[in-house]
Each structure stands twice: as C-alpha cells, then as structure tokens.
Homo-oligomer: A and B are copies of this chain.
C-alpha cells in the first residue's frame, strides 16, 4: 500500500518534468500517469513542441494529493469527481468540503480498524512466541 520503491525526490526546480521523471518521483508507472490523464484525473498537462508531456510543479502537487487519497482507499472514480469539481471553479467549494468531510470519517474508521487488528496481531505473535519458548504446558 505504501510506495516505498518511489524515488520521492522532486527533480531540479525547473517546473517541467518528463513522464519518466514524474514516474520515478511519484512511484506511479508512466502507463498509469497516461491513464490518469485519459480518465480526467489529471487535466491540462502541457506538451513540448514534439507532443511530449511536460509536467509542472503544480501537477506534482496534485499527484501528491491524489497519491494520499489513493493510499486511503478512495476509489479513482471519486478522485475524478473531485478533479471535475476543481475544474468547475470556486462555486463548487462547498461540495468539495463535503466530499473531504465524508472521506475524513472513512479514514478515521480505517485507523480504528487497523488499530484493532494490530492488537490482534500483537496477541497472536505473543501467543506463538510463548508456545515456541514452551511457556504453555
């Protein structure tokens, strides 16, 4: 679930990055970056005179946010919905707030569930270790 293989280092502050630079920065594949654009999750990516994608720092910020939302299990369709609201302008701010408020509750619940499971895992590990060291008769 966490992108441990990503370089996570933003290249020189040149404000235009190739798809492979962005791939290594975000940990997403170039395929996925193109797919994100196709489904409307990433809009208005600039192009060079030869038609190659040039991502800006703004795009990288957006991808950071998207990445965090993905990590919390937000469906891609919901993120596309959010992207559409942002495109639609400032009058959609109440709806965006609502979207985030609802998602915040989802995240809270997930943390709760994870904590419960962590406790179970700790208990199991202790049990297995106890059994291994012969503490149970």
The winner among A1, A93, A129 for most chain B CB atoms within 10 A is: A1
Contacting pair A125 B104 (CB below 8 A): yes
Give, as a whole number of angstroms, the nearest-CB distance from A88 to chain B: 14
Interface residues of A in 48-80 (CB under 8 A from B): 65, 68-69, 71-73
A110 within 8 A of B: yes
State which of B71, B90, B125 has its C-beta within 8 Å of the C-beta of A113: B71
Give, as a whole number of angstroms, the nearest-CB distance from A16 to chain B: 25
Contacting pair A69 B113 (CB below 8 A): no
Q: A96-B128, A131-B93, A132-B97 are in contact. Are A109 and B65 (CB under 8 A)?
A: no
Taken residue by residue from 101 to 119, chain A's Cβ proximity to chain B (1 for < 8 Å, 0 otherwise) reads as 1011011111101111110
Contacting pair A121 B100 (CB below 8 A): yes
Neighbouring B residues of A113 by C-beta, 8 Å:
1-2, 68, 71-72
Give, as a whole number of angstroms, the nearest-CB distance from A93 to chain B: 5
Nearest B residue to A113 via CB reads: B71
The winner among A69, A114, A125 for most chain B CB atoms within 10 A is: A114
State which of B68, B69, B103, B110 has its C-beta within 8 Å of the C-beta of A2: B110
Q: A68-B120, A120-B68 are in contact. Are A94 and B125 (CB under 8 A)?
A: no
